[in-house]
Amino acid sequence: RIILIDFGGQYTQLIARRVREAQVYCEILPYSTPLAQLEGADVKGYILAGGPASVYEAGAPRCDAGVLALGKPVLGICYGAQLMAQLLGGQVAHAESGEYGGVAITLEAGDPLFNGLEAQATCWMSHNDRIGQLPEGFHATAHTAHCPVGAMACPEKKLFAVQFHPEVRHTPFGQDMLKNYLYDICGCSGDWVVSGLVESMIADIRKTVGKGRVISGLSGGVDSAVASTLVHRAVGDQLTCVFVDHGLLRLNEAEEVLRVFRDEMGLNVVYVDAKDRFLSKLAGVTEPERKRKIIGEEFIRVFEEEAAKIGDSDFLVQGTIYPDVVESGVGNAQVIKSHHNVGGLPKDIKFRTVIEPLRSLFKDEVRALGLELGIDEKAVWRQPFPGPGLAIRILGDITQEKLDILRHSDAILREEIALAGLDREIWQYFTVFTGMRTVGVMGDGRTYDYIIGVRAVTSSDAMTVEFAEIPYPVMRRISNRIINEVSHVNRVVYDITSKPPGTIEWE
């Protein structure tokens, strides 16, 4: 394993992610960790991560300098590079001009870290301080126009440092450089996979929970599903899952969730039929934010009532994953839509502890874990579905009739996308009930019926999206089937808006 020492930088988790992508297990420890805990026969190397401080400031975070003298490889990145320089007697100072963003860099041939890489490259920089004087035994191995020590090394002692950020995609050679470090310098074999984590995660959960009682909200979404299944593996029926059906799910979705998690996986699932309750609260409401607020609040109320019936729980399972952690850390963004996670929960419920077993994992790792736990592939690859469900895909007020039309058309779309083999490459695809009616002709008669919108987007993170380029023959089938099979629909339109400026959902 590799130990990654954290100095509070925003990219620490991303470095861990890249190391794991290279199939090497990586653990993040705070800089204050005592040397004894940093050592271990199974530790192949260390990475000192970035951080916002300046190494020469009083109180700047420092790790035990002993880590540089263990005889194991150490790679310093940005702040970690500067700290390495300073701890070994070099000097770090404020640079006259900082470097931010993509910068041209020259890599020295012959440095093992840059083995096989082009000498002239682009890297991502983000620093105001720089290494002014190298520690003894080191030489500079890369430079930029404004930074004479873009990287430094003392290969005899297996110490390496880079001022740039190899972990971000804007450093195109970054991953190859990390692989050089991990495989050639540290001697890692690169055969780690996320499934190797299952046993230790289960052991951790058991230790935390003891004989306590645990409750979780199950929505059918992959995060809450994997988190709940993991906890179930650890503590069995000490876990109760609450599945609230707000009546805004897709066709057969509730049945599917129960089949997979209750029947196949054996989780103890309490099904709460709250359909009427939600529908009556939503009756006549047309304003999108109102809908979202009503659903969010009602959901909390239902969950609280069910939790009270089950009795005191000591723990609440949350399906928080790493991108959620990052996003919630980013404060002042304007509220575009008030997101509500069904299955994610009331802030004011009193539970002793929240368990978030997936907190350090990325979506694809969560999926891999889900498959490892034996969860049905369809559930593991389920496309994202918003907490407020179909309510935000019906423009205007919500009625049972509109829900039925929307569900039916959406099921057809999903079937056709899957048949065309496009279900994994399209990020999200669904139909929208526009509420608009147009004139058409069917057989020999005039029709005056609803327009269904089709939305399908490609994305890697939902932050920016492009509309999906679904082949016309597939579009034609989708349109024909929806118009022929769903009553009261006589027209289908395709949404060709990217995000920004559009959002994925229509409300």
Interacting residues of 160 by C-beta distance below 8 A, sequence separation 6+:
73, 74, 75, 76, 111, 113, 141, 151, 152, 153, 154, 181, 185
Residue 337 makes contact with ligand XMP by CB under 6 A: yes
Question: Active site residue: 26, 63, 78, 241, which one?
Answer: 78
Residue 370 makes contact with ligand XMP by CB under 6 A: no
Question: Stretches 69-77, 381-389, 415-423, 487-495: which one binds ligand XMP (CB under 6 A)?
Answer: 381-389
Candidate residues 44, 213, 340, 414; the one interacting with ligand XMP per rule CB under 6 A = 340
State yes or no: is 340 an active-site residue. no
Interacting residues of 29 by C-beta distance below 8 A, sequence separation 6+:
3, 4, 5, 6, 37, 38
Query: Nearest distance from residue 387's CB to ligand XMP, in Å?
Result: 3
Strands 2-6 and 26-30: parallel
Which residues between 201 and 260 bind ligand XMP (CB under 6 A)?
Answer: none
Question: Stretches 15-23, 46-54, 122-130, 337-345: which one binds ligand XMP (CB under 6 A)?
Answer: 337-345
**Residue 277 or residue 337: which is nearer to ligand XMP going by CB?**
337
Annotated binding site: 219-225
Cis before residue 500, ω within 30 degrees of 0? yes
Q: Which amino acid is at 267?
A: L
Query: Nearest distance from residue 215's CB to ligand XMP, in Å?
Result: 19
Residue 462 makes contact with ligand XMP by CB under 6 A: yes
Dist. CA 266–CA 206, nearest whole Å: 18
Dist. CA 306–CA 302, nearest whole Å: 6
Query: Nearest distance from residue 383's CB to ligand XMP, in Å?
Result: 8
Query: Nearest distance from residue 135's CB to ligand XMP, in Å?
Result: 48
Question: Active site residue: 99, 123, 165, 232, which one?
Answer: 165
Query: For residue 116, is it left (φ>0), alpha (ψ between -120 and 50) or beta?
Result: left
Residue 285 makes contact with ligand XMP by CB under 6 A: no
Candidate residues 94, 139, 290, 339; the one interacting with ligand XMP per rule CB under 6 A = 339
Question: Stretches 123-131, 139-147, 298-306, 332-340: which one binds ligand XMP (CB under 6 A)?
Answer: 332-340
Strands 489-494 and 2-6: unpaired
Locus of tokens 């419920």: 349
**Residue 252 or residue 338: which is nearer to ligand XMP going by CB?**
338
Question: Stretches 113-121, 206-214, 413-421, 496-504: which one binds ligand XMP (CB under 6 A)?
Answer: 496-504
Annotated binding site for ATP: 219-225
For residue 90, what are its two tokens?
């070099």
Candidate residues 161, 387, 408, 468; the one interacting with ligand XMP per rule CB under 6 A = 387
Residue 388 makes contact with ligand XMP by CB under 6 A: yes
Residue 319 makes contact with ligand XMP by CB under 6 A: no
Candidate residues 384, 435, 471, 500; the one interacting with ligand XMP per rule CB under 6 A = 384
**Residue 98 or residue 323: which is nearer to ligand XMP going by CB?**
323
State yes or no: is 78 an active-site residue. yes
Contact (Cβ atoms closer than 8 angstroms) between residue 39 and residue 77? no
Burial class (CB in 10 A: 0-12, 13-18, 19+), 495: middle
What DSSP string runs through 191-252? Answer: ---GGGGHHHHHHHHHHHHTT--EEEE--S-HHHHHHHHHHHHHHGGGEEEEEEE-S-SPTT
Interacting residues of 397 by C-beta distance below 8 A, sequence separation 6+:
282, 283, 284, 285, 286
Query: Nearest distance from residue 503's CB to ligand XMP, in Å?
Result: 3
Query: Nearest distance from residue 326's CB to ligand XMP, in Å?
Result: 15
Interacting residues of 243 by C-beta distance below 8 A, sequence separation 6+:
217, 218, 219, 220, 254, 257, 258, 261, 269, 270, 271, 272
Question: Active site residue: 167, 298, 306, 507, which one?
Answer: 167
Query: Nearest distance from residue 470's CB to ligand XMP, in Å?
Result: 18
Dist. CA 24–CA 189, nearest whole Å: 7
Dist. CA 417–CA 426, nearest whole Å: 9
Residue 428 makes contact with ligand XMP by CB under 6 A: yes
Dist. CA 126–CA 164, nearest whole Å: 7
Residue 341 makes contact with ligand XMP by CB under 6 A: yes
Residue 503 makes contact with ligand XMP by CB under 6 A: yes
Q: Where does 323-375 show beta strands of DSSP type E?
A: 353-355
- Catalytic (active-site) positions: 78, 165, 167
Q: Please report, as ranges, the residues that interact with ligand XMP according to CB under 6 A.
A: 337, 339-341, 384, 386-388, 428, 462, 499, 503-505
